[in-house]
Amino acid sequence: MKWLERNLERRTDPRVILPGAQAVVCLALNYYPGEREPNPNYRIARYSWNDDYHDIIEEKLGDLDLAMRDLGGTQRSYVDTGPVLERDFATEAGIGWNGKSTVQIHTVLGTWFFLAELITTLPLPPDSPQNDHCGKCTACMTACPTNAIPRPHFVDAPRCISYLTIEHKGHIAREFRAAMGNRIYGCDDCLAVCPWNKYATRTDEPKLRARDDLRAPELATLAALDDAAFRRLFAGSPIKRTGRDRFVRNVLIAIGNSGEQALVAPAQSRLHDPSPLVRAMAVWALARLLDEARFAALRADHLPTETDPSVRTEWTAS
């Protein structure tokens, strides 16, 4: 997360990004696909049940940019990909407020929406900032499985399951693996418990509804994905950004937490995976699923031939 410390001037002053900028147009797009999980055996953050939101929103921003050019403006647009403090700008623009989980909350959309911005040279009149309506509620803080929100308006990112399953490139610390449960990409817990979601309605954008091809695969199928199969399955999905090795790492943690003996074989097949990251989590999953004698037999067969230190550590620590 060190990248957050870079380009502070660009993050705090839009005029550094776009000389002559006079306003930031903030926009929100409802992505709520409904309550039902695509597959009950694992959990994927709702925003990624569908096509990649970057592509969808950038197309819409392009249309708005053309209209603003006709008014004489020059624009720079962002969809969480640039040095823009989008939640703070959204609050100042009156869209919502940053809740105690730091997630932006809207009085009608709840927590289920994307943010985007157009920095413009047009002299647009400002809207009134939004007030904080969280009150004494701490539901988001209580719901966090890893205690990543220890105090209001502060997230300890290295503990957050969304960070661990999506952004974190290495081995996930053992202290967080059981708490991940069957979450294989992201986590919605702090969003889902927000009382303001009682007003949320299903998105009317078809491209943001759950994709049928994400309903079918089981954990065993996902664990068996090689790089080519991963890219085919998640083509056009935000999940593709995390990469095959990290994704299968997450799947194996879910397998280890499942308690399902039927998933021993899929986990065992990953002991010979080219990725040490995957092999290590296969070891951890098998240590959770097998009794002591069966795991010891596997260790006797595989540990002598394992060369990666991180995988050897899993064999000896489990």
Whether 259 and 190 share a structural domain: yes
Which amino acid, one-letter code, is at 304? Answer: P
Range of the domain at 186: 139-195+209-317
Whether 182 and 70 share a structural domain: no
pLDDT score, position 2: 63
pLDDT score, position 79: 93
pTM value > 0.85: yes
Whole-angstrom Cα distance, residue 292 to residue 310? 21
In-domain check, residue 132: no
Q: Which two tokens stand for residue 174?
A: 């053992």
Whether 153 and 288 share a structural domain: yes
Query: Catalytic site residues?
Result: 80
In-domain check, residue 7: yes
Whether 264 and 148 share a structural domain: yes
In-domain check, residue 288: yes
CA angle 67, 71, 75 (to 5 degrees): 65
Whether 169 and 34 share a structural domain: no
Any residues with CB less than 8 A from the CB of 175 and at least 6 apart, and which? none
Q: Which two tokens stand for residue 87?
A: 């939640």
CA angle 293, 171, 51 (to 5 degrees): 115
pLDDT score, position 39: 81
pLDDT score, position 211: 81
The total of structural domains in the chain comes to: 2
Whether 53 and 160 share a structural domain: no
pLDDT score, position 120: 98
Half-sphere exposure of 119 (CA within 13 A, CB side): 22
| Helix and strand numbers, DSSP H then E, in the chain | 15, 7
pLDDT score, position 1: 58
pLDDT score, position 61: 96
Whether 181 and 311 share a structural domain: yes
Whether 222 and 302 share a structural domain: yes
Whole-angstrom Cα distance, residue 146 to residue 264? 26
Q: H or E segment at 255?
A: helix 244-258
Buried b (16+ CB within 10 A) or exposed e, 47-81: bbbbbbbeebbbeebeebbeebeeeebebbbbbee
* Measured torsion, CA atoms of residues 147, 92, 116, 137, in degrees rounded to the nearest 10: 30
Contact 318, 283 (CB under 8 A): yes
Whether 298 and 173 share a structural domain: yes
| Cβ neighbours around 183 below 10 Å, total | 23
Whether 112 and 181 share a structural domain: no
Contact 299, 273 (CB under 8 A): no
In-domain check, residue 129: no
Whether 88 and 162 share a structural domain: no
Q: Contacts for 262-268 with beta carbons within 8 Å, 24 or more apart?
A: 262/220, 263/219, 263/220, 263/223, 263/289, 264/289, 264/290, 265/220, 266/219, 266/220, 266/223, 266/224, 267/223, 268/298
pLDDT tens for the chain, residues 1 to 318 = 565 566 677 777 899 999 999 999 999 999 998 867 778 889 999 999 888 999 999 999 999 999 999 999 999 999 987 778 899 999 999 999 999 999 999 999 999 999 999 999 999 999 999 999 999 999 999 999 999 999 999 999 999 999 999 999 999 999 999 999 999 999 999 999 999 999 999 999 988 888 877 777 899 999 999 999 999 999 999 999 999 999 999 999 999 999 999 999 999 999 999 999 999 999 999 999 999 999 999 999 999 999 999 999 999 998
Whether 51 and 152 share a structural domain: no
